[in-house]
Amino acid sequence: MKTLTIRKPDDFHLHLRQGERMGDYARETARSFARALVMPNTLPPVTDPAGMEAYKKAIETEAPGLEALMAFKLLPDMPAGIVPEMKKAGAVIGKLYPAGATTNAEDGISSYRQIPDVLEAMEAEGMVLSIHGEHPEKPVLEREISYLTELEQIIRDYPKLPIVLEHLSCRESLRFLEQTPDHVRGTVTTHHLLFTLDDLMGGSLNPHLFCKPVVKKEEDRRALVDAVCSGHPRLFYGSDSAPHLKESKESGSCGAGAFTSPVALPLLAELFEQEDALDRLEDFVSRKGADFYGLPLNKESLTLVKEPWTVPDLIGGAVPLLAGETLSWKISS
């Protein structure tokens, strides 16, 4: 049987939620990933050292073997003094959500000009600014492209600030990245590499693929695959796996988020194999992100076997992407 053994991956963009289901999601993540950068858009959000430390402890207690890398959410009225405090408490990123851009982002930032002192402090501390790059007032398919103008201004105004544009979804963002300095990087998800609007709603609507930014056209998907599978030096993996309870996804007001942790590595192995790039998978999921964040590479390994398995219907009350379908690569237990 064909197998693939790689250095154990990291997920540099993950939603674990809080409360009783969090442990299920964290343990699921631990099967594939050694470390995960956990997003702060919980309710209430992660915004202070005590809350962040408690959240990290809760995650690592629930999922032994998973190291939680922590994030805090930028709020419009946040004092700049919080930045060195969060850094000292171990925060890896400050996350900028444009107000209203996605799940639990109503309290986000309407313009980066609202938080000049915070951004200055982040630049001084070398703290990474992670951005959900969508302009929520624009038409849904233009939101990411439209945000690039603001991003250009942030890069200009804070020339030393390390930045990650999260979950790239279109060609224009890839092109944009080419024109930015080396300290600007991008993450790419599994779902934006594999699916398009036609998968989301070309037949019957698939709420489990509804996420922000929405999956785009085939040209966009193709450009992302070409970039990632050719070993683009500035792109690394962040799943943006975002579980929502089944009842809420299969309802009249489906929240944005695709729960991909259980299928991420099997799907990526299949994709990289098809692209004749299996030898590049490890760099994408296990090396480039760690290098950017200045973290040591993981020592453990992960083995995938080419053996069919069926994706479970429900994990922690949430429906994984492709539930009930058979995938060709499986995580070896």
At its nearest, how many Å lie between ligand DOR and the CB of residue 280?
26
Determine phi and psi for 329, rounding to 5 degrees.
-110, 145
Our finding on whether 240 is near Zn ion (CB under 5 A) is yes
CA atoms within 13 A on the CB side of 181: 12
Give how far Cα 168 sits from Cα of 82, 164, 223, 239, Å.
28, 10, 11, 11
> Taking CB within 5 to 8 Å according to partner kind, which of ligand DOR, Zn ion, none is near residue 256?
ligand DOR
Is 11 in the active site? Answer: no
Our finding on whether 134 is near Zn ion (CB under 5 A) is no
Give the strands of the sheet with 326-331, arranged side by side: 3-7, 301-310, 326-331
- Residue 26 contacts by C-beta under 8 Å, 6 or more apart in sequence? 16, 59, 62, 63, 66, 68
Contacts 24+ apart (CB under 8 A), 135-140: 135/98, 135/101, 136/98, 136/99, 136/100, 136/101, 136/105, 140/214
Q: One of 10, 11, 240, 283 is an active-site residue; which one?
A: 240
Give the per-residue contact string, 38-67, with ligand DOR (x = CB under 6 A; - = no). Answer: ---x--------------------------
Our finding on whether 257 is near ligand DOR (CB under 6 A) is yes
Which residue, 38 or 200, is less far from Zn ion as judged by CB?
Answer: 38
Which residue, 241 or 286, is less far from ligand DOR as judged by CB?
Answer: 241
CA atoms 183, 189, 190, 192: torsion sign: negative
Our finding on whether 256 is near ligand DOR (CB under 6 A) is yes
> Taking CB within 5 to 8 Å according to partner kind, which of ligand DOR, Zn ion, none is near residue 289?
none
Which residue, 15 or 216, is less far from ligand DOR as judged by CB?
Answer: 15
At its nearest, how many Å lie between Zn ion and the CB of residue 22?
15
The interface with ligand DOR within residues 200-229 (CB under 6 A) comprises 211-212
Our finding on whether 102 is near ligand DOR (CB under 6 A) is yes
At its nearest, how many Å lie between Zn ion and the CB of residue 282?
23
Site size toward ligand DOR, by CB under 6 A: 11
Which residue, 7 or 73, is less far from Zn ion as judged by CB?
Answer: 73
> Taking CB within 5 to 8 Å according to partner kind, which of ligand DOR, Zn ion, none is near residue 168?
none
Our finding on whether 165 is near ligand DOR (CB under 6 A) is no
> Taking CB within 5 to 8 Å according to partner kind, which of ligand DOR, Zn ion, none is near residue 180?
none
Which residue, 243 or 266, is less far from Zn ion as judged by CB?
Answer: 243
Which residue, 161 or 164, is less far from Zn ion as judged by CB?
Answer: 164
- Strand duo 3-7 + 10-14: pairing: unpaired
Selection from 15, 77, 16 nearest residue 47 by Cα? 77
Our finding on whether 103 is near ligand DOR (CB under 6 A) is yes
At its nearest, how many Å lie between ligand DOR and the CB of residue 71?
12
> Taking CB within 5 to 8 Å according to partner kind, which of ligand DOR, Zn ion, none is near residue 41?
ligand DOR
Residues that bind Zn ion (CB under 5 A): 240
Residues that bind ligand DOR (CB under 6 A): 15, 41, 102-103, 132, 211-212, 240, 242, 256-257
Residues classed as catalytic = 240
